[in-house]
């Protein structure tokens, strides 16, 4: 399935210090530009120029550059915008669950160290829920399904297993570590 260009996260967002903080859709980017909360960057090789909405709308459109039709005519879709007032770098706190545990544990069984495919893994409660174990970062690890089935409602010690690491809640990370240039946009290479 092809994602329509207006719904792709294909516009890199920089804070006012020009640090990458997010990737958004062109629709959201145009909202920022039209309200004056951001400026679009025109990047031509090593030349980088910021433009406000009115000036951006008046720019010529080179061949092959994605555009959007507006009542005032065609406007090129920016690849990078800079927020005019926002200076922070947002922090992301991982969400507890399979995906969060997968990231924290690096996709490895915490008993065998084996690299797992998602279908081979599940969540193991160190102190089983049937014995009062909680659903929390400190009591859950990623485990091979076969190992977890064999462990059942036992503790690791009772099952003859040893954890490779002590599970802890992951720390918040800057949003920049989550930005991926999935669309291979050359202009982003200046910032990430």
In this predicted model, what pLDDT tens digit does every residue of 140-175 receive, in sequence order? 999 999 999 999 999 999 999 999 999 999 999 898
Q: Which residue has the tokens 């009542």?
A: 71
Q: Say if residue 139 is in the same domain as residue 182.
A: no
Are 125 and 69 in the same domain? Answer: no
Residues 82 and 9 in one domain: yes
Q: Are residues 13 and 85 in the same domain?
A: yes
pLDDT at 1 exceeding the cut of 80:
no
Pairing assessment for the beta strands 80-83 and 11-14 based on DSSP bridges: parallel
Tell me if 127 is assigned to some domain. yes
Residues 124, 82, single domain; the answer is: no
Q: Against a cut of 0.85, is the pTM above it?
A: no
Whether 32 maps to a domain, the answer reads yes
Q: Which structural domain range is residue 134 located in? A: 94-151
Give CA separation, 34 vs 15, 73, 170, in Å. 17, 15, 38
**Are residue 64 and residue 120 in the same domain, yes or no?**
no
Count up the domains in the chain and report the number. 2
Q: How far apart are CA 33 and CA 49, in angstroms?
A: 15
Q: What is the CATH number of the domain that holds 103?
A: 1.10.30.50
The per-residue pLDDT for range 107-148, each reduced to its tens digit, is 999 999 999 999 999 999 999 999 999 999 999 999 999 999
Q: Can you give the pLDDT at residue 3? A: 59
In terms of domains, do 74 and 11 share one?
yes
Has residue 183 got a pLDDT over 80? Answer: yes
125 and 72 in a single domain? The answer is no
Residues 60 and 99 in one domain: no
Q: Is residue 157 assigned to a domain?
A: no
Residues 79, 22 share a domain = yes
Residue-level pLDDT at 69: 82
pLDDT digits (tens, 9 = 90+) for 65-103: 888 888 878 899 999 999 999 999 999 888 999 999 999
Residues 82 and 117 reside in one and the same domain: no
């Amino acid at each position: 399935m092809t994602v329509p260009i207006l719904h792709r996260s294909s516009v890199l967002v920089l804070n006012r210090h020009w640090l990458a903080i997010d990737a958004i859709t062109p629709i959201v980017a145009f909202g920022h530009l039209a309200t004056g909360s951001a400026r679009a960057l025109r990047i031509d090789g090593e030349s980088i120029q910021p433009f406000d909405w009115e000036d951006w709308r008046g720019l010529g459109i080179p061949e092959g550059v994605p555009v959007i039709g507006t009542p005032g005519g065609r406007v090129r879709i920016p690849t990078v915008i800079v927020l005019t007032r926002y200076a922070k770098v947002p922090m992301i706190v991982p969400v507890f669950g399979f995906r969060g545990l997968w990231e924290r544990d690096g996709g490895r069984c915490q008993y065998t160290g084996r690299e797992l495919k998602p279908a081979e893994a599940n969540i193991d409660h160190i102190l089983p829920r049937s014995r009062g174990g909680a659903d929390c970062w400190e009591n859950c690890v990623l485990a091979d399904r076969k190992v977890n089935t064999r462990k059942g409602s036992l503790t690791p010690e009772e099952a003859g297993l040893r954890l490779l690491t002590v599970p802890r809640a992951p720390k918040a990370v800057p949003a920049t570590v989550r930005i991926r240039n999935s669309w291979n946009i050359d202009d982003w290479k200046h910032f990430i």
